[in-house]
Amino acid sequence: MAQVAIVFGGAGFIGTHLLQKLSDSGNYAKLISCDISAPRWEVDGVDYRHIDICQPIDIKLSEPVDEIYNLAAVHTTPGHEDWEYYWANVLGATHVCDFARKAGCETIVFTSSIAVYGPSEDPLDENSPLQPESAYGKSKFCAEQIHHQWQREAPEQRKLVTVRPAVIYGREERGNFTRMARMLAKKRFAFPGRTDTIKSCGYVKDLVSSFAHALARDEKTLTYNFALPERHTAKDIADTFAEVGDYDRATRVIPLKLMLTAGMGFEALSAVGMRTSINRARVMKLNRSTNVLPRKLQEIGFEYAFPLKRSLEDWRAESTAADFD
């Protein structure tokens, strides 16, 4: 039977890929994207609506809602005041769950983050303690609890899938991986303090495929990390970009103390109105490992279609304006 799905945050990077996947499946009679931004690209047949999840949600529908995907979030970190993460991510979760109650929807897929674990050099899985350090990570931890409360209100009927993605990359990402590719192409990339930083990551196409795999399970609650099962260091990632993009390999390492000093200088410029994306918090984020394992996803039999090199090849093949756009 054809279904009705609503994607909050449907205009974003992951949301657009998800809507494309759902549309291509042919299983949905209606797909609704709710966001305050324009989509990365418009997916045929999607009903795009301007909805701010920081406000109570009122969507007029003539049919029941089968699935809700809550991908909406303030996520760039650092980059926002602490209160902004809580305002969007915690209040937003509250409004999405309130809407699910009103709409009678019994299935939610919520994208949390590996930030709920905090950074770690040691491998972490779904059984590891949650020790968020950043305001973003703490806000996502709170949002997880709000979604679980919604599920516990009717545990035999309601299904909740909580996904904790690592760094996700792919077409229209416009984030860390895109910046790395641009800097490698210009021969400007340098490692911040070390080359062996472990950076858990995964391809967006595998991520959205994992949602359907999880929903097909019988469990009423399922929480899993999403990342490639192999551990990749910053050097592994940069070298693979260089191989696929035909760039020179990066070899420069800038001492951490020097980068932190530079970050302090850029913070001073920001304080007088010259906004930059460089600061000490961002430098430390790049220097610290996020070593998260997708153990649960492997246990339930999910098969990755895109290991690191193949995913970058696929991304480059889909690019139009420039490599890895």
Q: Give residue 80's pLDDT.
A: 66
Q: Give residue 76's pLDDT.
A: 64
Q: Give residue 75's pLDDT.
A: 62
Q: Give residue 322's pLDDT.
A: 77
Range of the domain at 98: 3-170+201-228+291-305
The answer to whether the CB of 134 falls within 8 A of the CB of 84 is: no
Task: Record the tokens describing residue 298, joined without a space.
Answer: 């492997």
Segments of the chain with pLDDT less than 70: 1, 75-80, 275-278, 284
Integer Cα distance of 96 and 41 in angstroms: 24
Integer Cα distance of 163 and 147 in angstroms: 12
Q: Is residue 39 part of a domain?
A: yes
- What is the helix (H) or strand (E) element at residue 169, kind and residue range? strand 167-169
Q: Is residue 159 part of a domain?
A: yes
The answer to whether the CB of 97 falls within 8 A of the CB of 147 is: yes
Q: State how many domains the chain has.
A: 1
Q: Give residue 288's pLDDT.
A: 86
Q: Give residue 171's pLDDT.
A: 96
Q: Is residue 160 part of a domain?
A: yes
Letter for the amino acid at 13?
F
Q: What is the CATH number of the domain that holds 84?
A: 3.40.50.720
Task: Record the tokens describing residue 220, joined without a space.
Answer: 């009423």
Q: Is residue 243 part of a domain?
A: no
Q: Give residue 246's pLDDT.
A: 96
Q: Is residue 278 part of a domain?
A: no
Q: Is residue 253 part of a domain?
A: no
Which is it for the CA torsion 11, 21, 18, 118, positive or negative?
A: negative
Q: Give residue 78's pLDDT.
A: 57
Q: Is residue 24 part of a domain?
A: yes
Instruction: Write down the pTM of the prediction.
Output: 0.93
Q: Is residue 104 part of a domain?
A: yes
Task: Record the tokens describing residue 29, joined without a space.
Answer: 């009679």
Please give the backbone phi and psi of residue 8, each rounded to the nearest 5 degrees, phi first.
Answer: -80, 130
Q: What is the DSSP string of 124-159?
A: E-TTS-----SHHHHHHHHHHHHHHHHHHTSTTT-E
